[in-house]
Amino acid sequence: MRVLVAEDERRLADTLARGLRTQGLAVDVAHDGDEALGKARVYPYDVVVLDRDMPRVHGDEVCRALNAEQPRTKVLMLTAAASLDEMVDGLGIGADDYMGKPFVFAELVARIQALGRRSGDARPAVLRRADLVLDPGERTVTRAGRPVALSPKEFGVLEALLAAERAVVSAEQLLERVWDEHADPFTNSVRMTVVTLRRKLGDPPVVETVRGAGYRI
């Protein structure tokens, strides 16, 4: 899942980004509304965590623009004003969820994951293919009932491939979905991650390489 944290408090933004990355999310950061819109017009975000009181372009305007231009992207609005009236107003603007500051990080993660499952086309809460089961909420993978320990990137690649439902996913698409904006487009990280993922999942192999196109389950 790819997330944009749009927060003008740099310390908070960096803390959120680090914490979300430990949960296996690909996270980019924007420090004003104009930068947030610019990045959202380039990268396919599942969720935007949006501070309402943003400089340059106010968070309300960012939310409206995202609704109009990126309807598949979900918006979780953060604000220091957590009254019921403010929440109703924020949801009325088009936010998909709303949290007041301060907040509990675990709750933020749970809400982002719930919104991510709603972004794009509807998909099952648990992804399955034969004896392979991936639970995004619990962040667990099993094969034939055996737990499989994966790194955050391996988990993200497997989740993207399973969600594609046998369609081929290119290396470029995986780089966009699982890595962040700092990833080198010429890196072999995707290929190496697939190699280790195959090894950990065991035999018979479930990740197929489609020459010249990408990968599929």
Average pLDDT over residues 103-122: 83
Do 89 and 13 lie in one domain? The reply is: yes
Do 81 and 188 lie in one domain? The reply is: no
Average pLDDT of the chain, as a whole number? 89
Do 100 and 168 lie in one domain? The reply is: no
Do 77 and 9 lie in one domain? The reply is: yes
Do 139 and 43 lie in one domain? The reply is: no
Do 114 and 8 lie in one domain? The reply is: yes
CATH number at residue 64: 3.40.50.2300
Of the two residues 8 and 138, the one the predictor is more confident about is: 8
Question: Is a pLDDT exceeding 60 seen at residue 122?
Answer: no
Residue type, 6: A
What is the rounded distance in angstroms from the CA atom of residue 147 to the CA atom of residue 10? 38
Question: Is a pLDDT exceeding 90 seen at residue 133?
Answer: yes
Give the closest residue to 31 by CA, choosing from 64, 1, 61, 53: 53
Q: What is the DSSP letter of 205?
A: P
Average pLDDT over residues 98-112: 92
Question: Is a pLDDT exceeding 70 seen at residue 81?
Answer: no
Question: Is a pLDDT exceeding 60 seen at residue 92?
Answer: yes
Calculate the alpha carbon distances from 208 to 149, 158, 159, 199 in Å. 20, 12, 15, 13
Confidence of residue 146 (pLDDT cuts 50, 70, 90): very high
Do 93 and 21 lie in one domain? The reply is: yes
CATH number at residue 175: 1.10.10.10
Do 136 and 65 lie in one domain? The reply is: no
pLDDT at 137: 78
Domain range for residue 81? 2-118
pTM confidence score: 0.74
Do 17 and 99 lie in one domain? The reply is: yes
- Total domains present in the chain: 2
Q: What are the pLDDT digits (tens) for 154-208?
A: 999 999 999 888 899 999 889 888 887 777 766 788 999 999 999 999 999 999 9
Percent of the residues in the chain that have a pLDDT greater than 70, as a whole number: 92
Do 11 and 112 lie in one domain? The reply is: yes
Do 190 and 162 lie in one domain? The reply is: yes
Do 162 and 204 lie in one domain? The reply is: yes
What is the rounded distance in angstroms from the CA atom of residue 87 to the CA atom of residue 92? 8
